[in-house]
């Protein structure tokens, strides 16, 4: 559905406003939405740092006509250029913004990673995509796909290596924006990786040479927030389903966002807190808590399944994992029986650690699951 929108750009310090009709898609048809769009566009094209971007948070109309920006846009006291701007620049970028917004709003609208970023509240993708796309960009779709993928990867690899700091991350997005602005596809991955390695090195006080390293990932789990844990296991679930010709058992979004006691998804510890399991870790409470919370030691279960597994022994828990998520079922013998697609999946990606654990689950098994997840991470976020 399209809608003709009368947009009035209020120009500070000139005698009249300029009104022009533009055809844009539904989704950016109200004044607040247009304000949000304009702020993203101005930050994308004129802000190299987060502090520079803040100038557009309030009265962006005034900022557009200050000398530094007006020297580029040439809009002040220039109604003909304003009309040209609205008919060309405004029209193109609102249509681009709307295309992003459609995938942002609903899963399956063409750019899956745009939706994934929405689930992680990574709205910086609007800034980065608008920055990278020049007027009437022939590579527009490729840039939407590439940047949304790279941002998802950038965020995930920060989280999974305990390197995520919100303020630093948001400041870095502006640096990336300034380097990919009106650029080509070729330099996008390199720019993201440069800042990823920089942050990993800073966090670890040693030079990071690879975007993902097992030493940085080994203990990951306990420090992650619950929503990202759900997102992570949703991505693992999707990866297994797609590579074994299986359908997802639950909508992807539900795995991340549903948290209710009955139909929500919750974190399940494979290792219950009991004396039997504590002995596996030499009765060291701190070590036990750290280890049982590693990603290799937790699962995602639907409300009632999580409650029913309770504080049982591992062998009892294993029964409750039947007919839950595929990642949970990889612990069970029957997941592998007479299933060629699963065998091919294992062989294709050399997932040697993907085996049933039918008798016990202790430190060695937990380490094996962590290493298996590491292999999957390197494929999903390659």
What does the DSSP assignment read for 11-26? Answer: -TTSS--EEEEEEEET
Which of 139, 173, 204 finishes a domain?
204
Residue 141: what pLDDT? 98
Same-domain status, 314 and 198: no
Cβ-proximal residues to 365 (8 Å cutoff; 6+ apart), any chain: 357
- CA 144 to mean position of chain CA atoms: 14
Q: What is the pLDDT of residue 307?
A: 55
Regarding whether 321 and 263 lie in a shared domain, the answer is yes
Domain boundary among 171, 204, 237: 204
Q: Is residue 230 part of a domain?
A: yes
* Same domain as 166, residue 291: no
User: Domain of 87?
Assistant: 2-204
Q: Are residues 182 and 251 in the same domain?
A: no
Give per-residue pLDDT as tens, 184-219.
Answer: 999 999 999 999 999 999 998 989 999 999 999 999
Model pTM score:
0.91
170, 50 in Cβ contact below 8 A? yes
Judge whether 215 lies within some domain: no
Domain final residue pick, 204, 235, 256 = 204
- Residues 25 and 147 occupy one common structural domain: yes
Regarding whether 243 and 189 lie in a shared domain, the answer is no
Q: Are residues 184 and 61 in the same domain?
A: yes
Same domain, residue pair 139 and 248: no
* Residues 180 and 299 both lie in one domain: no
Contacts of 79 (CB under 8 A, 6+ apart): 14, 16, 18
State residue 310's pLDDT score: 60
Is 126 part of a structural domain of the chain? yes
Phi and psi, residue 265, nearest 5°: -110, 135
Q: Is residue 214 part of a domain?
A: no
Residues of the chain short of pLDDT 70, as ranges, are 1-31, 304-310
Pair (13, 151) in one structural domain: yes
What is the pLDDT at residue 28? Answer: 55
Q: Could you tell me if residue 77 is left (phi over 0), alpha (psi between -120 and 50 degrees) or otherwise beta?
A: left
Residue 159 contacts residue 216 (beta carbons within 8 Å):
no
Residue 16 confidence (pLDDT): 39
Residue 171 near residue 49, CB atoms below 8 Å: yes
Which token pair is 321? Answer: 């994992």
Within-domain flag for 139: yes
User: What total of structural domains would you count in the chain?
Assistant: 2
Q: Looking at residue 6, what is its pLDDT? A: 41
Six-digit token string for 198: 């920089």
**How are beta strands 265-269 and 298-302 bridged, if at all?**
antiparallel
Domain match, 21 and 132 both: yes
Instruction: Identify the pLDDT of residue 82.
Output: 82
Query: Do the Cβ atoms of 139 and 128 come closer than 8 Å?
Result: no
**Contact status, residue 305 vs residue 312, Cβ threshold 8 Å:** no
Phi, psi of 349 (to 5 degrees): -110, 10
Tally of CA atoms within 13 A in the half-sphere of 201 that contains its CB: 10
Same domain as 232, residue 193:
no
Query: Alpha-carbon distance 370 to 225, whole Å?
Result: 18
* H or E element, residue 315: helix 314-320
What DSSP state is assigned to residue 32? H
> Which of 158, 191, 198 shows the shortest CA–CA distance to 174?
191
Asked if residue 170 is part of any domain, the answer here is yes
In tens, the pLDDT along 252-273 reads 999 999 999 889 999 999 999 9
Q: How far apart are CA 280 and CA 361, in angstroms?
A: 9
Asked if residue 294 is part of any domain, the answer here is yes
Q: If you ran DSSP here, which 8-state letter would residue 133 be given?
A: P
| Helix segments in 47-139, DSSP class H | 50-53, 60-64, 67-73, 79-85, 91-105, 112-119, 124-132
Q: Does residue 50 lie in a domain region?
A: yes
Q: For residue 1, what pLDDT is reported? A: 38
């Amino acid at each position: 559905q399209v809608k003709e929108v009368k947009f009035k750009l209020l120009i500070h310090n000139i005698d009249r406003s300029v009104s022009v009709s533009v055809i844009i898609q539904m989704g950016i048809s109200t004044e607040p939405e247009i304000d949000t769009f304009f702020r993203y566009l101005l930050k994308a094209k004129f802000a190299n740092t987060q502090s520079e971007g803040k100038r557009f948070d309030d009265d962006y109309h005034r900022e557009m006509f200050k000398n530094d920006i007006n020297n580029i846009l040439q809009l002040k006291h220039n109604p003909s250029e304003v009309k040209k701007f609205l008919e060309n620049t405004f029209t193109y970028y609102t249509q681009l913004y709307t295309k992003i917004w459609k995938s942002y709003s609903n899963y399956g609208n063409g750019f899956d990673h745009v939706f994934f970023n929405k689930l992680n509240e990574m709205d910086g993708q609007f800034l980065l995509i608008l920055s990278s796309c020049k007027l009437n960009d022939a590579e527009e779709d490729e840039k939407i796909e590439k940047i949304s993928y790279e941002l998802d990867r950038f965020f995930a690899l920060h989280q999974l290596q305990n390197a995520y700091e919100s303020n630093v991350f948001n400041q870095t997005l502006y640096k990336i924006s300034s380097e990919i602005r009106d650029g080509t596809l070729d330099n996008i991955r390199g720019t993201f990786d440069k800042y990823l390695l920089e942050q990993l090195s800073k966090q670890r006080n040693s030079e990071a040479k690879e975007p993902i390293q097992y030493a940085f990932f080994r203990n990951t789990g306990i420090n992650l927030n619950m929503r990202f844990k759900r997102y992570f296991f949703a991505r693992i679930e999707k990866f297994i389903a797609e590579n074994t010709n299986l359908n997802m058992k639950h909508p992807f979004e539900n795995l991340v966002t549903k948290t209710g006691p009955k139909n929500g998804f919750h974190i399940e510890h494979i290792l219950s807190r009991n004396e039997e399991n504590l002995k596996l870790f030499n009765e060291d409470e701190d070590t036990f808590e750290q280890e049982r919370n590693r990603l290799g030691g937790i699962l995602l279960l639907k409300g009632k399944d999580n409650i029913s597994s309770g504080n049982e022994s591992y062998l009892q828990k294993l029964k409750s994992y039947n007919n839950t998520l595929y990642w949970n079922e990889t612990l069970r013998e029957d997941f592998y029986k007479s299933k060629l697609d699963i065998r091919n999946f294992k062989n294709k990606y050399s997932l040697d650690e993907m085996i049933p654990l039918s008798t016990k689950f202790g430190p060695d098994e937990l380490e094996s699951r962590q290493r298996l997840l590491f292999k999957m991470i390197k494929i999903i976020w390659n």
